[in-house]
Each structure stands twice: as structure tokens, then as C-alpha cells.
Amino acid sequence: MIRPGLARVVGASMEPTLHEGDLLLVLWGARARVGSLAIVRLPRDAHGMPRPVSVKRVTGTDPADPDRWWIEGDNPGVGVDSWLVGSLPRSAVLARVVLRIPCRRASFT
């Protein structure tokens, strides 16, 4: 089921598109679209620790498997994205970002 929700950005890996504290209107359960931003669940790190739910840009599908999404951060040079963890299954894309709500507040943490 697709339902709307709000998400708050923490961190700088999506700059200059998104900044710390930005508020996003998202559609939980909506299918990703190439070029759009998505809320994704990244695989666990090398120590088996879960990574937080993240916002990334969907830049395409995996050439080897069209059912998997290739995701990247907008801030080049750094970041955990598909260059590091490979493509993600559809189930790892939790929501599509619809728009950034034009108000900014400090994050909760």
C-alpha cells in the first residue's frame, strides 16, 4: 500500500540537493523512478552492523539485473552507495521522495 509520510535529512552526502534538516514529503511503498530520490535500506556494513535508512538518488537499474536499482549520493567522492555496496533489490527501496518541503529545521539528533 502506498502512503504519504515525512522524512528529515541528516548528514551531507546529498548536498547540494539536500541539506541537513531538510524536510521531505515521501511516498512509502511507491516504486522508484530513475532520476528521482528514494529512501533506501542499505545492506549491513562489513562488521554486520545495520546502516541507517538513507536517502539516495536512483540513477538506473543494474545492467546485469534490471530488477535491481543502482543508487548514488549526490555529493561525489564520498559516501556509501552502489559503487560500494552494489545494486539494491526492489525491496530495499522503501519510499520515493516526492518533494522537499520548503522549511528547514535542525535535525532531532
Partner 1 sequence: MRLRDIFQITEVSAHCDLPCGVYDPAQARIEAESVKMIIQKANESDDPDFRARAIVIKEERSELVKHHLWVLWTDYFKPPHFDKYPQLHVLVNEATKLAGASGTKGTFDEGKADELLAKIAEIDKIFWETKQG
For partner 1, the binding residues (CB under 8 A) are 3-15, 18, 20, 23-24, 26, 28, 39, 45-46, 49, 51-55, 73, 75-80, 83-84, 107-109
What is the spatial distance between Cα 43 and Cα 34, in angstroms, rounded to a whole number?
A: 20
The CA distance from 3 to 49, in Å, is 29
Q: How far is the CB of 72 from partner 1 (least distance, A)?
A: 10
Least Å from the CB of residue 2 to partner 1: 9
Query: In the bound complex, what is the minimum distance in angstroms from residue 74's beta carbon to partner 1?
Result: 9
Sequence-ordered list of residues with C-beta below 8 angstroms from that of 16, at least 6 positions apart, any chain:
74, 75
